[in-house]
Amino acid sequence: MKRDLISFALWTREELFRVFDLAKRVKGNPANAHLPLAGKTAALIFERESLRTRVSFEVGIVQLGGHPIVLQHETIGMATRESVHDIAQVLSQYNDLIIARTTRHQTCVQLAESATVPVINAMTDLLHPCQILADALTLQELGKLSETSKIVFLGEGNNIVNSWLEFARKIPLKLVISCPPGYEPHPQILEEAESAKVSAIVIDPDPKDAVKDADVVYTDVWPPARETAGEALRMTTFKPYQINKALLKLAHNDCVVMHRLPANRGEEITNDVIDGRQSVVLHQANNRLHVQKAAMSFLIGEK
């Protein structure tokens, strides 16, 4: 039976750690030929712009011996020119993997339901599992992926937060989420993560209180203004959640700073922080390549 990576819901803790172990082996010995995609092709569908995701997947597929085929939304007209169901079935005839960055999460779900080959969620409006795998691998390498390490997210409760909450259902974490009122994470995903009682999950709208004694501080771009004339209100609402040197003084001295990129420098994070000694944003970006190679290998059946 084929497997997909749409969310972490159907993945076990053991499977996630198998992906991490394979990612570390591939990363630690790049000269050792690991070619589970030799003679295979992978279709990459992009409804949204992309830098890290597209390049890391394309490079990873080539390094695994495969051939990537990039399909832009304008070219295939998914759900406009042709149904998601038909596209998934046709692509399954030609390819061994489908990787999709879609605007709506349900589109990615429909692709997986209709495809007969593994489908990987390369980001939707609801979830971003590949980024969280890379983040978790980064923290594991830094000795900060544990139930005693305090991971704090500041900003909007978006797809990054939702995937961290899904991950926290599988692997014990100490996760603190600090969002302005009205910008909390998806309520059902939050409820499921809390009900699982695997991790300690705290919602704290006060960013200063949330960051106190943090081991990891994570942020992402702020959402666009909800109204045409709402830019000033947006800045006022999110300004207290900016990661800057003053806020970081409340965290542990060896606290690391994370951001999935791209960043709006000067908004959610200041230049001196994102380029500073505590930043691990490039470490995260680098690990996208390795963890995605591991996930593709896992899904294609490489032992």
Say if CB 219 and CB 155 are below 8 A apart.
yes
Rounded distance between C-alpha atoms, residue 193 and residue 183, angstroms: 18
pLDDT tens-place string over residues 86-105: 999 999 999 999 999 999 99
- The CATH architecture of the domain made up of 13-127+288-300 is 3-Layer(aba) Sandwich (3.40)
- The CATH architecture of the domain made up of 143-279 is 3-Layer(aba) Sandwich (3.40)
pLDDT at 294: 97
Task: Identify the DSSP state of 51.
Answer: S
Ranges of each domain in the chain: 13-127+288-300, 143-279
Rounded distance between C-alpha atoms, residue 218 and residue 230, angstroms: 25
- Please give the span between the terminal C-alpha atoms of the chain, in angstroms, as a whole number: 16
Pair of tokens at residue 94: 């030609």
pLDDT at 31: 67
Q: ω before 262 within 30° of 0 (cis)?
A: yes
pLDDT tens-place string over residues 162-213: 999 999 999 999 999 999 999 999 999 999 999 999 999 999 999 999 999 9
pLDDT at 10: 95
Q: What stretches in the chain show pLDDT beneath 70?
A: 31-32, 227-229, 302-303
pLDDT at 74: 80
Rounded distance between C-alpha atoms, residue 119 and residue 245, angstroms: 41
13-127+288-300 and 143-279 in the same fold: yes
Pair of tokens at residue 195: 């009900």
pLDDT at 152: 98
Say if CB 46 and CB 101 are below 8 A apart.
yes
